[in-house]
């Protein structure tokens, strides 16, 4: 399938739900003759009527012309039966997420379509290799995973099954680029890129709730304020549907032969069992009104307090380049540790330690990482048992001078944002170790598939790979759990960096 050109391919879309009609919209607006098929003929007609309304709204907003809308609509036909798909050159299925259903569908199509017809599955987590098994010419089966809503979301995962040739994937990549999408190539791993690497975003949030570290709304606030995420994990899973997100987690967990890193949460299972699935049931973590509005965490109004204390800085604070500038501090003492000493209190940037387990002789406050201290509205802090109420008040007064609120949580190694991000990075490293996708495609997948502010490798460059590795090492030492084990890929990356640095230093010494 080298030099395969799909730019004028006749396309069939199977499934007239939100995803199916969205894919059909993309196909017709980009010039493809398209046929839409669903077992429910009435549902298909309603979906097409809805598409006509969508095009009318796009014309109204000036996004497309009336002529473009008319031409696009003229390219779409409704199939009366599956035999009407016989002439399709590219079939994209968007049916229920069940292996047997997808296999049966492609087996039916194989009997009526050309042996050169490409069968693309919009599966989000099922093995493409498994779908292709038992299909004549399995090399034509490929994953083409759009994100909902398909016309809006930029990312498309192109999934190469065991027998899928690279040429087919490249042809689909060219097609998706023509459709103004951001395509990423992935090998057939459970969950592919996005649904695999995103698991810690949910899992670590639910673990924090289970360990009673924070409330769900406070946790969401922390991830948005400190991490720069558009939505917190509790808000996002309410939007996705707790039942849907839980099902994907279960699928990935089982597909990885019950790898502990992907274990589902009892917190989420309880919501699912109760039928509190989020927005669609008007209750999940949050309660929703008829307009789907809900109450979010609001920090207290900052009142600037009188502050008198001796303040000294240790360390480079390289992971938080704007913090010292925001606080009007300069590096006074050299140290391998990042510490701001406020009288007898050590304010430390977390590196995965436990305040109560590792700091037994000094009053210690651990601070979560913040993506932009220049604009920070709040910091998330925890403290050890030596700190008294007056010590916490002193810390609050210190930050109040700079209009920064303090959000206290219980002692939680790596706190909330840093812990989430280093585990996302670690999962990305595991995917790289297994050759699942390139660094660039992994970053693009997470930025455009789930709207993260940065890709995992971009975060790693910002934090420093050594810092990420040390944080994971500390977490693993505390918990002793496989899910916190640093990836071999990350360890090798850090070792290579250290080797390059050592060689550079040696060369400079020799030149001197």
Residues 157, 235, 396, 427: which is the catalytic one?
157
Sorting pLDDT into bands at 50, 70 and 90, what band is 468? very high
Backbone angles phi, psi at 429, to 5 degrees: -65, -40
Indicate the DSSP class of residue 211: T
Respond yes or no: is residue 195 known to be catalytic.
yes
Is the model's pLDDT at 461 over the cut of 90?
A: yes
pLDDT at 406 over 60: yes
What domains are there in the chain, each with its CATH number? 11-186 (3.40.50.720), 195-281 (1.10.1040.50), 311-408 (3.30.750.190)
Residue 3's pLDDT is 82
Catalytic residue (choose from 121, 125, 127, 145)? 145
* E runs forming strands in 189-324: 311-314
pLDDT tens-digit series, residues 59-98? 999 999 999 999 999 999 999 999 999 999 999 999 998 9
Q: Which of 108-117, 329-338, 398-407, 468-477 has the lowest mean pLDDT?
A: 329-338
Q: At what angle do helices 456-463 and 465-479 cross, to 10 degrees?
A: 100
Give the model's confidence band at 273: pLDDT under 50 very low, under 70 low, under 90 confident, else very high: very high
Structure tokens at 206: 């639910």
Q: Say how far apart CA 491 and CA 501 lie, in whole Å.
A: 15
pLDDT of 502 strictly over 80: no
Please report, rounded to a whole number, the percentage of residues in the chain having pLDDT higher than 70.
97
Query: What pTM was computed for the model?
Result: 0.94
For residue 1, is pLDDT > 70? no
Per DSSP, what are the bridge partners of residue 299? none
Residue 67 falls in the annotated catalytic set: no
Of 210-224, 246-260, 344-358, 430-444, give the lowest mean pLDDT range: 246-260
List of residues 6+ apart from 7 with CB closer than 8 A? 174, 175, 178
Q: Above 80 in pLDDT, residue 444? A: yes
- Which is catalytic among the residues 16, 33, 122, 124? 124
Beta strands in 147-233 (DSSP E): 155-159, 182-186
What is the sign, positive or negative, of the torsion defined by CA atoms of 451, 14, 74, 118?
A: positive
Query: Distance between CA atoms of 15 and 449, rounded to whole angstroms?
Result: 22
Transcribe 100-139 into DSSP letters. HHHHHHHHHHHHHS-TT-EEEE--SSS-HHHHHTTSSSGG
φ, ψ of residue 311 in degrees (nearest 5) = -120, 125
Tell me the C-alpha distance between 54 and 370, whole Å: 40
What pLDDT, on the 0 to 100 scale, is given for residue 102? 97
CB-based contact 91:105 (threshold 8 Å) = no
The answer to whether residue 511 scores a pLDDT higher than 60 is no
Q: Provide the sign of the torsion angle of the four alpha carbons 52, 53, 54, 59, taken in this order.
A: positive
Phi, psi angle pair for 111, to nearest 5°: -80, -20
- Please report where in the chains the tokens 């409330």 appear, as a residue: 215
The residue with tokens 């069968």 is: 119
Active-site annotation holds for 115:
no
Longest dimension (CA), the chain: 82
Q: Is the pLDDT of residue 509 over 70?
A: no
Mean pLDDT of the chain: 94
Overall average pLDDT of the 36-65 stretch: 96
Give Cβ neighbours of residue 502 (< 8 Å, ≥ 6 apart): none
């Amino acid at each position: 399938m080298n030099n395969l050109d799909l730019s004028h391919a006749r396309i069939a879309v199977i499934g007239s739900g939100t995803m199916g009609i969205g894919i059909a919209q993309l196909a017709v607006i980009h010039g493809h003759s398209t046929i839409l098929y669903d077992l429910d003929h009435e549902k298909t007609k309603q979906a097409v009527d809805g598409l006509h309304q969508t095009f009318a709204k796009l014309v109204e907003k000036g996004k497309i012309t009336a002529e473009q809308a008319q031409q696009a609509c003229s390219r779409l036909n409704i199939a009366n039966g599956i035999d009407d798909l016989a002439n399709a050159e590219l079939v994209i299925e968007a049916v229920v997420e069940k292996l047997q259903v997808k296999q049966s569908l492609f087996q039916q199509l194989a009997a009526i379509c050309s042996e050169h017809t490409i069968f693309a599955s919009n599966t989000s987590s099922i093995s493409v290799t498994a779908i292709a098994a038992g299909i004549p010419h399995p090399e034509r089966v490929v994953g083409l995973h759009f994100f909902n809503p398909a016309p809006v979301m930029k990312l498309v995962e192109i999934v190469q099954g065991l027998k899928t040739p690279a040429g087919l994937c490249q042809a689909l990549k060219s097609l998706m680029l023509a459709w103004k999408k951001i395509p990423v190539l992935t090998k057939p791993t459970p969950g592919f890129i996005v649904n695999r690497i995103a698991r810690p975003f949910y899992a670590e949030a639910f673990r924090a709730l289970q360990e009673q570290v924070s409330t769900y709304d406070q946790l969401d606030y922390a991830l948005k304020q400190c991490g720069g995420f558009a939505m917190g994990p509790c808000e996002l899973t309410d939007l996705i549907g707790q039942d849907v997100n839980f099902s994907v987690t279960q699928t990935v967990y089982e597909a990885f032969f019950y790898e502990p890193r992907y274990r589902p949460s009892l917190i989420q299972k309880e919501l699912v069992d109760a039928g509190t699935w989020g927005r669609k049931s008007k209750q999940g973590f949050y309660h929703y009104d008829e307009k789907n509005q809900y109450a979010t965490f609001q920090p207290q109004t900052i009142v600037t307090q009188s502050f008198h204390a001796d303040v000294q800085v240790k360390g480079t604070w390289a992971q938080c380049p704007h913090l010292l500038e925001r606080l009007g501090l300069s590096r006074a003492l050299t140290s391998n540790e990042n510490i701001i000493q406020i009288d007898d209190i050590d304010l430390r940037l977390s590196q995965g330690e436990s305040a109560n387990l590792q700091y037994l002789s000094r009053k210690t406050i651990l601070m979560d990482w913040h993506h932009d201290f220049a604009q920070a509205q709040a910091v998330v802090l925890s403290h050890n048992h030596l700190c008294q109420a007056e010590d916490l008040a002193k810390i609050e007064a210190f930050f109040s001078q700079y209009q920064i609120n303090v959000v206290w949580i219980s002692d939680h190694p790596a706190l909330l944002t840093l812990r989430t991000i280093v585990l996302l990075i670690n999962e990305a490293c595991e995917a790289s170790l297994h050759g699942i996708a390139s660094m660039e495609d992994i970053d693009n997948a997470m930025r455009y598939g789930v709207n993260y502010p940065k890709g995992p490798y971009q975060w790693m460059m910002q934090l420093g790979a050594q810092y990420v590795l040390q944080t994971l090492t500390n977490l693993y030492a505390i918990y002793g759990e496989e899910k916190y084990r640093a990836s071999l890929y990350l360890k090798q990356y850090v070792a290579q960096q250290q080797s390059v640095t050592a060689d550079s230093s040696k060369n400079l010494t020799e030149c001197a």
